[in-house]
């Protein structure tokens, strides 16, 4: 195992960089990137002094993608490494809490969180003790063996039925072996489970570094953003993001709709979208969203030129670019056209904040990645100039931004799929709320 390679990689969440970039602004003195954060409601690791011998129960995300028993992507571990190492440096005995898969309250050997042990040890560059329980004497004994600054990984929280039921009994049993609770798993914060919500009420609770960075970024994007604000919403279907669209029209100045869901809006406006992916039964809903946007003073941008093909394949012979009103009955819209992308880039130039979820086209297949790549690069360039705060999230969105080579250039990229979407829907996340209350 090569520790140095993993350790040399920079952590995904760079709180220092975020803070500096945001608070110092673009250096031009315009001050428009100044963050007005109301983070006082959260306790963070900065509120902790020496923890020598104290036990920190730390909720992390170890639900890592695996293939043939090996972790294929350790991004989530790297995201929480600063939190774990910070607590170690303060002298705490760190007990990691996480779920892995969906064992539904049973012990399932293939879903032991110990499957991630090698990956966690590699990222942290230190030994991690595995404890096959989350509560009780076995954990107590493990705590007795650990020295200050040591790390142990407790078993999959979802092996216990009380986890997903947020059973106070289970939470109390876990809390018995800890002195403080740190939640660093924003990606699990949309669930009110014992390890994500219940524990926060039983021990002094703190947001970890990754949670803190996520909350700051989200606050800057939609909570208290510098205006004007643009949102890009793309992806396959309107039905999967109805609540997102409904919330955003009341929050942002410009709503840019792309991807398959743009087809549904175009069809609702009477455009013939041919064989395109389109939810015709949602025409009324789409018109309702457009009306709500109008009322809220939100400008909705739909493509006026599009990239179409008769078959869905890489560089198909039938590929062409046309006006949305010229799509033939046997053609599919697979990407936003170049003229629309140029106009959208101009819209971004007038904005100070961008929140992005969903690719503009079927980006996995060339050349239907063109619009997503082009607009992502415009957003990245504006961010680099200090003109834009750009926040993006969503499984395919992160893949698309990586594909465009701009993931490092956005202000913040959230890897929390479900939690990010629920936040974009304007919902209160129980795991976050519990930290605020604590």
Per partner kind, with CB cut-offs from 5 to 8 A, the member of ligand ADP, Mg ion, none near residue 359 is ligand ADP
Cβ 335 to ligand ADP, closest distance in Å?
A: 6
Which one is catalytic: 53, 105, 417, 418? 418
* 76 in active site: yes
Q: What backbone phi and psi angles, to 5 degrees, belong to 417?
A: -60, -80
The residue count of the chain comes to 438
268 contributes a contact to ligand ADP by CB under 6 A = no
User: Residues touching ligand ADP: how many (CB under 6 A)?
Assistant: 20
Q: Which stretch binds Mg ion (CB under 5 A): 89-97, 165-173, 296-304, 393-401?
A: 393-401
Q: Which of 94, 199, 340, 362 binds ligand ADP (CB under 6 A)?
A: 362
Name residues contacting Mg ion, limited to 164-203 (CB under 5 A). none
356 contributes a contact to Mg ion by CB under 5 A = no
Cβ 45 to ligand ADP, closest distance in Å?
A: 30
Cβ 420 to Mg ion, closest distance in Å?
A: 11
Q: Which stretch binds ligand ADP (CB under 6 A): 8-16, 218-226, 360-368, 374-382?
A: 360-368
**ω into residue 298 within 30 of 0, thus cis?**
no
Per partner kind, with CB cut-offs from 5 to 8 A, the member of ligand ADP, Mg ion, none near residue 333 is ligand ADP
* 36 in active site: no
333 contributes a contact to ligand ADP by CB under 6 A = yes
Which one is catalytic: 237, 275, 310, 377? 237
Residue 304: closest CA among 352, 348, 256: 256
Which one is catalytic: 59, 76, 90, 191? 76
Residues 256 and 245: beta-carbon distance below 8 Å? no
Cα four-point dihedral sign 64, 65, 71, 77 = negative
394 contributes a contact to ligand ADP by CB under 6 A = yes
Name residues contacting Mg ion, limited to 250-269 (CB under 5 A). none
61 contributes a contact to Mg ion by CB under 5 A = no
Q: Which of 335, 369, 396, 422 binds Mg ion (CB under 5 A)?
A: 396
- What are the CA-CA distances from residue 35 to residues 18, 91, 216 (Å)? 11, 32, 9
Cβ 403 to ligand ADP, closest distance in Å?
A: 11
Per partner kind, with CB cut-offs from 5 to 8 A, the member of Mg ion, ligand ADP, none near residue 367 is none
Q: Nearer Cβ to ligand ADP, position 149 or 394? A: 394
395 contributes a contact to Mg ion by CB under 5 A = yes
Q: Which stretch binds ligand ADP (CB under 6 A): 49-57, 194-202, 233-241, 406-414?
A: 233-241
* 417 in active site: no
Q: What is the dihedral of CA 59, 65, 70, 75, to 10 degrees?
A: -60
Q: Which stretch binds ligand ADP (CB under 6 A): 47-55, 90-98, 392-400, 401-409?
A: 392-400
Q: Which stretch binds Mg ion (CB under 5 A): 47-55, 181-189, 391-399, 424-432?
A: 391-399
* 418 in active site: yes
Residue 336: closest CA among 249, 229, 257, 241: 257
Cβ 273 to ligand ADP, closest distance in Å?
A: 10
359 contributes a contact to ligand ADP by CB under 6 A = yes
94 contributes a contact to ligand ADP by CB under 6 A = no
CA distance 336 to 42: 41
User: Residues touching Mg ion: how many (CB under 5 A)?
Assistant: 2
Q: Which of 252, 334, 374, 435 binds ligand ADP (CB under 6 A)?
A: 334
Residue nearest to Mg ion (CB): 396
Residues 31 and 100: beta-carbon distance below 8 Å? no
The residues binding Mg ion (CB under 5 A) are 395-396
The residues binding ligand ADP (CB under 6 A) are 234-236, 240, 259-260, 277, 333-334, 357-359, 361-364, 394-397
């Amino acid at each position: 195992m090569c520790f140095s390679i993993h350790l040399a990689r920079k952590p995904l969440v760079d709180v220092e960089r975020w803070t500096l970039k945001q608070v110092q602004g673009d250096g031009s003195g315009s001050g428009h990137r100044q963050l007005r954060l109301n983070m006082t409601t959260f306790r963070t690791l900065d509120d902790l002094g020496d923890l020598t011998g104290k036990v920190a129960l730390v909720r992390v995300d170890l639900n890592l993608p695996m293939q043939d028993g090996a972790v294929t992507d350790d991004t989530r571990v790297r995201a929480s490494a600063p939190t774990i190492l910070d607590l170690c440096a303060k002298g705490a005995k760190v007990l990691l809490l996480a779920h892995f898969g969906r064992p539904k309250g049973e012990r399932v050997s293939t879903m032991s969180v110990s499957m991630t042990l090698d990956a966690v040890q590699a990222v942290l560059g230190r030994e991690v003790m595995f404890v096959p329980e989350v509560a009780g004497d076995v954990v107590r004994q493990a705590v007795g063996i650990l020295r200050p600054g040591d790390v142990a990984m407790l078993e999959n929280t979802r092996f216990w039925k009380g986890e997903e039921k947020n059973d106070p009994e289970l939470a109390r049993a876990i809390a018995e072996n800890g002195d403080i609770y740190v939640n660093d798993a924003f990606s699990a914060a949309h669930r009110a489970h014992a390890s994500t919500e219940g524990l926060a009420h039983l021990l002094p609770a703190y947001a970890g570094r990754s949670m803190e960075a996520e909350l700051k970024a989200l606050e800057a994007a939609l909570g208290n953003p510098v205006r004007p604000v643009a949102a890009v919403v793309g992806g396959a279907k309107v039905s999967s993001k109805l609540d997102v669209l409904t919330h955003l029209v009341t929050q942002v100045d410009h709503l840019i709709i792309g991807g398959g869901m743009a087809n549904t809006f175009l069809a609702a406006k009477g455009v013939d979208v041919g064989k395109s992916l389109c939810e015709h039964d949602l025409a009324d809903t789409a018109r309702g969203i457009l009306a709500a946007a109008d009322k809220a003073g939100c400008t909705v941008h739909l493509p006026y030129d599009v990239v179409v093909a008769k078959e869905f394949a890489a560089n198909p012979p039938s590929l062409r670019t046309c006006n949305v009103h010229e799509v033939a009955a046997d053609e599919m819209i697979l990407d936003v056209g170049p003229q629309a992308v140029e106009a959208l880039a101009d819209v971004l130039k007038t904005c100070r904040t961008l929140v992005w979820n969903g690719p503009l086209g079927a980006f996995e297949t060339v050349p239907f990645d063109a619009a997503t790549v082009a607009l992502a690069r415009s957003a990245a360039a504006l961010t680099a100039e200090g003109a834009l705060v750009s926040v993006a999230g969503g499984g395919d969105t992160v893949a698309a931004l990586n594909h465009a080579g701009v993931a490092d250039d956005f202000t913040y990229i959230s890897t929390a799929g479900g939690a990010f979407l629920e936040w974009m829907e304007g919902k209160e996340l129980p795991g976050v709320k519990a930290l605020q209350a604590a």
